Amino acid sequence: MSVAAAAAGKAGKVNRRLTFVRWVRKTHGWFGLWGALLGLLFGFSGVWLNHRNTMKLTLPDQKQINAQLELPDPRPQTIEAMGAWLQQTLKLDRGPNNIRVERARPVPWGERSGEGNARPLQQPERWLMNLGGPNHLVQAEYWVGNKSLSVRTTENGLVATLTNLHKGTAMPVPWILLIDTLAGSMIFLSISGVILWWETHRKRAVGITIFAVSVAATVAFAVSPLQL
């Protein structure tokens, strides 16, 4: 009975291991399918971004136009109102997808000694807005109190559009959340890939060596440029 019980326990352990491996393999495949298209997209744009500084790559078919827009009278009093006016003026499909307000503050070079109670020079409040999308990006800058605002319009070709998709430039929140799912998928695929290899290979010395060399090279190349 003890031998039979031991055999049954061993068989149950093997079955549980096989069930776990099948589940990991199946889930690995589904996660890979979910991120396949985004992985190809980010792989292409990632290679371009990775080499752009070393190889002095410039984005083809990218055009930039700088302009000054006169504001209406009365001027918009809030950044939201300014964004709505800019959307209407430029005839864009949607309003700003990113806004930022930099509060007024003393300028560093405005500190003057020996002037008693003289007020320091102030840098006025600055409004920054991004409108449009990854292929047609509008960046606006306004210093509160001015009668005009600066607008830079960038028309992007295919490669520049793909890199903006990669970086999330001018993309809405749903796209950011979608990319978060890709990041989660990559984390799972990395872990499940190691588990599958470990569970399906008995001779592991070569694999462990490759993994150790990969980790060492990654850490070495990442740490070497750091100013410690």
Whether 166 and 71 have beta carbons less than 8 Å apart is answered as no
Mean pLDDT along residues 12-41: 88
Enter the pTM of the model.
0.72
Strand partners for 151 = 67, 140
pLDDT at residue 47, as a whole number: 87
CATH number at residue 55: 3.60.90
21 Cβ neighbours under 8 A, 6+ residues apart: 196, 199, 200
Residue 87 DSSP one-character state: H
Whether 136 and 63 have beta carbons less than 8 Å apart is answered as no
The yes-or-no verdict on residue 146 having pLDDT over 70 is yes
Compute φ and ψ for 10, nearest 5 degrees.
Answer: -65, -40
* CA angle at 173 for the pair 171 and 176, rounded to the nearest 5°: 75
pLDDT tens by residue, 55-114: 877 777 788 999 999 999 899 999 999 999 999 999 988 888 888 999 988 877 655 544
Positive or negative, the CA dihedral 86, 90, 91, 94 is negative
Minimum mean pLDDT range among 49-58, 95-104, 135-144: 49-58
Number of domains making up the chain: 1
Q: Within 10 A of 116 (CB to CB), how many other CB atoms are there? A: 4
Which residue segment(s) compose the domain that 100 sits in? 46-104+121-176
pLDDT at residue 114, as a whole number: 45
| Rounded Cα gap, residues 45 and 153, in angstroms | 22
On whether residue 219 sits in a domain, the answer given is no
pLDDT at residue 8, as a whole number: 60
